[in-house]
Structure 1
Amino acid sequence: MPKAQKFTPDNVMMREKPDGTIPTKYQKLILKDVMETSKIMQLAKYEEMTDKEKTFEYFAEGPGAYWVGEGQKIKTTKPKWLQVKMVAKKLAVILPVTREYLTYDMATFFTEMQPKIAEAMQIKFDEAGILNVDNPFPQSIDKSAIDANNVVEGDLSYDNLIDLEDKLSDNDFDVQGFISKRQNRSSLREANKIENTVITERLYDRNANTIDGLPVADLKSKNMEKGTIYAGDFDFLRYGIPYGITYKISEDAQLSTLTNEDGTPVNLFEQEMMALRVSMDVGFMVIKDEAFAKIKAVTPPSED
């Protein structure tokens, strides 16, 4: 009996396997790219997941310490742990490419598509978890800041940035960093404390990209308004990835969410194209709404 040929991505053409699970090597590279570029994954704590749901405990309060007089009984308190449940949702992106990609072997194809898949996944996940845009999860950083009434309205001034930090520190949360966007940097350079026309303190360090000595993660998204900044205690932000990444190729679909220059939907069959749909399950949750705050840019009234 002839020996069965071993499957490797190097000897299978994409037209022979139009759907399935992305080979392990390329999954790891894609996930590595996503985790290194996603602002949520850079800042949040990772929770190991083996199923779509995970219940875990987090440390809510620690045991107390007491002054004890000679011969007195030492008081004891127990640490407080609370249970929360994180649920994974399916994240899918569609990438249109030319039909020539079907002639690639799987190794070449996924090497070529790796950065495109990672960027699309990262943007989609961050916009959902941070900005609450097209969000399948019950929470987001933006929603949590609003629900906790931790919103400072105004420009990116020295006073407003200090007020933003105080929203958290006054409630015993540690500000660990900020989420901003590159377009805010010019305004941040003006966020100085001025006394008698003299700058006595600068909050923003352009070279280090820090505010008040704390790191700033710049989110690349057209859906984040200029002038918006989030602050957070990211110990209360979690994510997990329970399953591998799957894909499916279509050559005859009409993509309602993608349009041509004339505004018509992209028709793969008519335009001799194909679309790669990539899906992965991602868990996300905010443990405490009060651990997040935002500065909301005030839009000036329109002139009639």
Structure 2
Amino acid sequence: MANLDYATDKSIELPAEFASEIIQKTQESSAIMQLARKVNLPGTGVDVPVIMSDPEASWVGSETDQRSVSTGKLETKQLRPYILSVIVPFSNKFRRDAAGLYSAIVNRLPGALSKKFDETVMGSVTKPGDKFDNFSNAVKQVLTKEDAYNTLVAADADVSAHDGVVNGYVLSPKARSILLTATDNNKRPLFINNVSDGAIPMILGSQVIQSRGAYSKGDSESIVGVVGDWTKAVYGTVEGVNVTLSDQATLVDGETTINLFQQGMFAVKAEIELGFRADTSVFNTLAITNA
């Protein structure tokens, strides 16, 4: 990602439908955002209850008997917003074509924002602060083609042991390819209805969402997915995506420097404020052994 040293910058007046589309596409592109519960997040943060265990009902012996009280177990966590930013340079020809610029923004930026958010929650990218949870310390299950079913059952059992109910899987393309080739003793595919589907819509009765951000390469093992109880995970956003433009700045992208004015270009910076909190004990990550 490039850094932007400003000489001048100004806001782009995005039509309301494009601004909302950027948010919508970011949420649709993020597997984590699709599964976790969304809350409104003020700029200063907010305390949110994370469900650790459900309340328990009890029978009443007679009409006048005292009713028992069960509140369940809640843990209050501060959901704090952190800024996630991406800068993309464009040719000046886009400035002459407003519709083309809006289209490029909508098509390119949401994927970058959602992928980085998913990578951060998975733990492959350093989290922005201590008020942001990730799955780096979650119980890990090693996934293989030969023992895929038992591995997923073991993850389900671990989540259940921590008072969770598995209701969603996030898989990277690498995990998807392993599960697509997993077969039973009669060489029948375990996780797809038929070969023409080419997808894994459900695993053990729970929905599956694919994300490139669910992959994290390690030295000996790589994380390729996560499974858990998404009722115990929340994310929040502050307002929408803030978009600014500069044509006088210098972009520093690693060892490459781009002078926008000199090279007849401009850059668009998109920022969104996000937070994520979860009871990480009810999640298991899926890993593969590196060859």
Coarse TM-score class (shorter-chain normalised): 0.7 to 0.9
Instruction: Say which of 136, 144, 152 aligns to 2:141.
Output: 152
SS of 2:289 mapped into structure 1? coil
Residue 48 (1) aligns with residue 40 (2): yes
Matches within 5 A, 1:155-234: 155-156=144-145, 157-194=148-185, 198=186, 202-205=190-193, 207=197, 209=200, 210-221=202-213, 223-225=215-217, 228-234=224-230
Residue 84 (1) aligns with residue 80 (2): no
Give the C-alpha shift of residue 64 in structure 1: 3.2
Matches within 5 A, 1:1-304: 18-19=10-11, 22-67=14-59, 73-74=65-66, 76-80=68-72, 81-105=74-98, 109-138=101-130, 139-145=132-138, 150-156=139-145, 157-194=148-185, 198=186, 202-205=190-193, 207=197, 209=200, 210-221=202-213, 223-225=215-217, 228-257=224-253, 264-286=256-278, 288-300=279-291
Kept in 2, the 8 Å contact 1:179–1:230? The answer is: yes
Give the C-alpha shift of residue 175 in structure 1: 0.7
Give the whole-Å Cα distance in 2 for the aligned partners of 1:164 and 1:116.
Answer: 35
Give the C-alpha shift of residue 137 in structure 1: 4.2
Q: Which residue of 2 aligns with 1:13?
A: none
SS of 2:253 mapped into structure 1? strand
Kept in 1, the 8 Å contact 2:23–2:240? The answer is: no
Q: Which of the pair has more CA radius of gyration?
A: 1
Matched residue type, 1:78: S
CA distance 1:166–1:104, change in 2 (3 Å): same
Q: Give the gaps of 5 or more residues in structure 1.
A: 1-15
Give the whole-Å Cα distance in 1 for the aligned partners of 2:252 and 2:42.
Answer: 34
Matched residue type, 1:233: D
Give the C-alpha shift of residue 227 in structure 1: 6.6
> What TM-score results when the alignment is normalised by the length of structure 2?
0.79
Give the whole-Å Cα distance in 1 for the aligned partners of 2:66 and 2:169.
Answer: 41
> What TM-score results when the alignment is normalised by the length of structure 1?
0.76
How many percent of aligned residue pairs carry the same amino acid?
22
Deviations 1:130-189 (A, max 9, x none): 3441431434443241xxxx1123524222222122221222211111111223333213
The size of the alignment, in residue pairs, is 272
Kept in 2, the 8 Å contact 1:20–1:246? The answer is: no
CA distance 1:41–1:69, change in 2 (3 Å): closer
CA distance 1:237–1:132, change in 2 (3 Å): farther
Kept in 1, the 8 Å contact 2:170–2:214? The answer is: no
